[in-house]
Structure formats: structure tokens, C-alpha cells
Amino acid sequence: MTQLPSSTQKKLGLVIDLDTCVGCHACVISCKGWNTENYGAPLSDQDPYGANPTGTFLNRVHSYEVQPPNLKDGSKAAAQLIHFPKSCLHCEDAPCVTVCPTGASYKRQEDGIVLVNESDCIGCGLCAWACPYGARELDADEGVMKKCTLCVDRIYNENLPEEDRQPACVRTCPAEARHFGDFADPESNVSILTAERGGMDLMPEQGTKPVNKYLPPRPKDEAPEFDVLAPYLEPIAQDAKGFVGWLDKTLSAMPRGAK
Amino acid sequence: MHPAPSVIIFTTFSGLGFGLLFWLGLGAIKPMGWGAFLWFFIAYAMAVGGLIASTFHLGHPERAIKAFSQWQTSWLSREGIAAVFTLVVMGIYALGALFGVHMGFTGFIGAIGCLATVFTTSMIYAQLKTVPRWRHWSTPAMFLLLSIGGGALFAGQVTVAIVLLLIAAVMQYFAWMSGDGRLSHSGTNLKTATGLGTIGEVRAFEPPHTGTNYLLKEFVHVVGRKHSAKLRQITLGLAFLAPILLLLLPFNHFFALLAVLCHVAGVLTLRWLFFAEAEHVVGLYYGKR
């Protein structure tokens, strides 16, 4: 069914902390590792050891440089490097679901997870066109649409130890930059994190109402000011006397001499 | 967007086929017997041929029947239903014509179905918020104008074709000019995409992988934009100007055929540009557009 549920009982999703992500790509690898051998078709690679390797990934980590505006004294603040993991945001108003002609794409009423029923998918690619985040990739070998399942085959899996019942990316993150929980519960870890740290939506103007939230990087320290020490740090040779003074004046007076 | 040949052939020839069926259904020409067979054969070859071409880019064309199920939300599903409905109705109308019976009402319903089919096709593109260039009323307007304009050309409706092609040329020029600024006016940029705009200027520093991927192949296509100005001139010349001039000359079957061929080549170029020029917002994440 491609009609979106008016509300879902739970709103399962991720909080991704851009302040603590170190850009190690471990979530990319663990995601591919788990999902290539579990839910649905494998995540294939093409020419993996050749000159032009490509493949299907449900989670990719970008890196961005952010240049803060000039400081009060006009000098440039230090640029920041921010690692940016991106996977399906399990939007409340998921445009990928409504465009699907076959009903293969759906959003679950019970927990809000957006999934693809691969046996109904005709591989038309329209859902990937409708997603502003690039969360869906058509697998080149299988011809069906692949996307993050929020590890639906882990989080409810009673065969796994309790601590493993969370998405593979969250379980593996060494920096604890990824958190999994229920956004419908205001007391949940993800709701509290979002409230405390000002969790934000990506491309809010697209109207997709993403469930996943991103925590902005905390403000960085500014360069310390040298008010106290400044008088002692003046260049010392400005009013040279004696021979050095004469040399300074003479050299400066020469054609193209440093003033 | 990647200009896939299957989708360009589909939108071009289905549009022309349904355009010709539109004029046949309205009774602009009323061929009977073998004449009817020839006319409807040309129209069906283009309409159905285009639809078949569209299945070539599917990962699983054998499941295409499932695409008729989600008409409540999906324009692609609605298009499939509209196309099949129209082809069946016009099939009955064509059968009548074959045996010398003109069924005016059936033809009229079929003609409405032709417009509905082309409109639903255009809405597949116009609905996408992710491609600001397409999300505009000029997208369905252009699909409909090209369909009935080209259809009139095929059906030999000289005056109507000249008027429609003139309007289409002006509309296409407007669609290009207004479309050029639509991504930057959409409010979506790297700052909103990353949410990092509150800190300062954002620049894509390193992509997720050194190689390419499905997203870049499907959504980031820059060659079209490089030659955009030239291709637009070629399109205006072939799709509109040449056919109009050839139609204005004293009527001659050779000129008519030339006009049709020019128009088809022009619309193929136009549709290639329609896809190749369109910017998908996901390109922003890669510092591209």
C-alpha cells in the first residue's frame, strides 16, 4: 500500500551526532556486511577489484568543510571538517512511498519503518527519483530497489543477544555517534538527545518530515585573544639605535630597500 | 538526470501516438476500411511502441502488471491505467472504422483518454519536488502541446498544427528560461541539505567513495548542460521552425514527410535535454548539480 499511515504507533529512527562522528566509515561497512546477507537481495558490487568499482550501499559517509564567518577582529575562524553519515531518514511524509506504482514501497503503521517488498518491485527507479536524500539505490545485479531497513531483522530478532538488537550501524559505531530509538516516546534516548542538542531535519523545505535527526556540531573554541601579553609581543627592532639603527636607515634608503 | 534512451523514446513516441489518436478520435480525419487500418496502425505503433520501450529500463519488466495497482497515490500507476483504457477504447473505435462504422462518442471518449494519458505521463515528472526544473505547470503544458501539436502534424491538420507548434515553441522557450533559475530559487541548497549552514559556508570536501555510484549515474549528468544553448537552438529549429515553414509551403507529400521527420528529431532532442538538463537535489550532497 502506497498510502502513508496518518500516524504510526512508534517512530523508530536514528539520531546521528555530527559532533562526535569521526568519519571512520565503520557504519558503512557493518551495514553492508549485515544487509548483504540478510533481508532481501544481496548488496552487489560491480568490478570490485577493477579500475572502476561501484556497488550498492544503504549508508554512505560524506565529509564537508564548513567555513565559519570572520571573527570580530576580521580574522578568519578555523575551517571545520564535518563527517556526515547519510542513510534513509524514514520520513513521516515519505515521497518515495506514494510514487511507487506497484505497492512494493510501504511505511509500516506499527513502527514507521519504510521498507521495500522486493518481490513486488519492478525496478522502475521512481522512488529513488522522489527521494531528496539519495537514500535509495537500485541494485545493478538484482534490478530491485535497496534501502535502509533500520535493520528490521535485528531490532526484533530474539535470536540475537539483547545488546545486538539495534541497527548494525549503531551497534558498530566506535564513537557512539549513532543512536537508535523511538521518537514517539518523549522519554526515549533519541527524543531526549534531540531536545537537548537541537536535533535538526535535513532539507526541511522538501516537506518530507524526516524521523531521523542530526545533532549539529557543538560550537568550537575560538582562538584565544592576546590582550594581556600583546604589549610584550611587539616586534623588538622597531626603534633600533646605534650601528643597527644606521644600517636600517641606510638599507631602507637604498633603491627598492625594505621600509 | 540521466537521459535514458528508453524513457526518451517512450515520452516522444507515446506522446505523438496518443496525439495522433486524439485527432483520429475527434474525427478530424475519418478514414474507413484499409485507410483506417493504416492510420491506426501508425498511431498504435508509436503509442504502444513507446510504452514497450519504457519497460526496457525496468529491473523486472515481467512484474509490470503490478504497476496498475496503486492508482490512488502513484502517477505512474495512473498513467498505466489511462494508457490501457485509452488503447482499448480507441481499439473499439478503430475496429468500427475498419468496417466502415464511425462511432463518434467512443472516439470522443478515446480522445479525452489520450489527453489524460499524456497528462499523467507529464505528472510523473512534474510531481517531483526533488527536480525543481520539472516541478512546474509548464511541464504538463509542454507534454500536452507537443502531443496534440505533433499529432496534428501527423494527421495532416495543417492550420491547427502550425498554430499549436507556434504556441509550443513559445511555451518551450518560456519553460527553459524560467526553469534555469528554479533550482536556486527552490530554497534547497547544500546548507539546508546538510543543516550545517548555520555555522558558515559549506563545501563538499570528500565524497563517500572514490568511485562513482548509482546516485551519481542516475541523477548527476553534466554533459547536457554544457551544450545546452546549442541544443536548444537545434530543438527550436527542428521541432518547431522547420515543420512550420514546410507546412507554409504549397502542400506536397514530400514536404509533409520532411516536416514530420524534422519534428520527431526535434522532439527527441528536446526530450534528451529535458532529462539531461534537469538537476536533482541529491547532487548537492556531492557538491554537484
Length, in residues, of chain A: 259
- Asked if residue A19 lies in contact with residue A218, where contact means CB atoms within 8 angstroms, the answer is yes
Topology of A12-215 in CATH? Answer: Alpha-Beta Plaits (3.30.70)
Among chain B residues, the shortest Cα distance to A104 is held by: B66
How far, in Å, CA of A157 to CA of A93, rounded? 27
* Mean model confidence pLDDT for chain B: 94
Chain A hits for B213, CB-CB cut-off 8 Å, are: 54-55, 57, 60, 137
Task: State pLDDT tens for residues B67-89.
Answer: 999 999 999 999 999 999 999 99
Among chain B residues, the shortest Cα distance to A204 is held by: B192
Domain ranges of chain B: 5-286
Task: State pLDDT tens for residues B227-258.
Answer: 899 999 999 999 999 999 999 988 788 899 99
A125·B57 Cβ contact <8 A = yes
Split at pLDDT 50, 70, 90, the class of A244 is confident
N-to-C CA span, chain B: 10
- From the list A60, A64, A69, the residue facing B203 with the nearest CB is A64
What DSSP string describes A164-197? G-S-HHHHH-TT--EEEEETTSTTSHHHHHHHHH
Give the mean model confidence (pLDDT) for residues A177-182.
96
Alpha-carbon separation of residue B152 from A4, B22, B26, B75, B258 (angstroms): 41, 9, 11, 26, 15
Q: Is B245 on the interface with A (CB under 8 A)?
A: no
Task: State pLDDT tens for residues A73-97.
Answer: 777 788 999 999 999 999 999 999 9
Topology of B5-286 in CATH? Answer: Formate dehydrogenase/DMSO reductase fold (1.20.1630)
Q: Mutate which of A124, A137, A220 to disrupt the B interface (most B C-beta within 10 Å)?
A: A124
Domain ranges of chain A: 12-215
What are the grid coordinates assigned to A114, written together? Answer: 519504510
Residue keyed to cell 527527441: B268
- pLDDT for position A229: 67
Task: State pLDDT tens for residues A187-228.
Answer: 999 999 999 999 999 999 999 999 999 999 998 776 555 566
What are the grid coordinates assigned to A63, written together? Answer: 565529509
Q: Is B10 on the interface with A (CB under 8 A)?
A: no
B67·A204 Cβ contact <8 A = no
Q: Is B185 on the interface with A (CB under 8 A)?
A: no
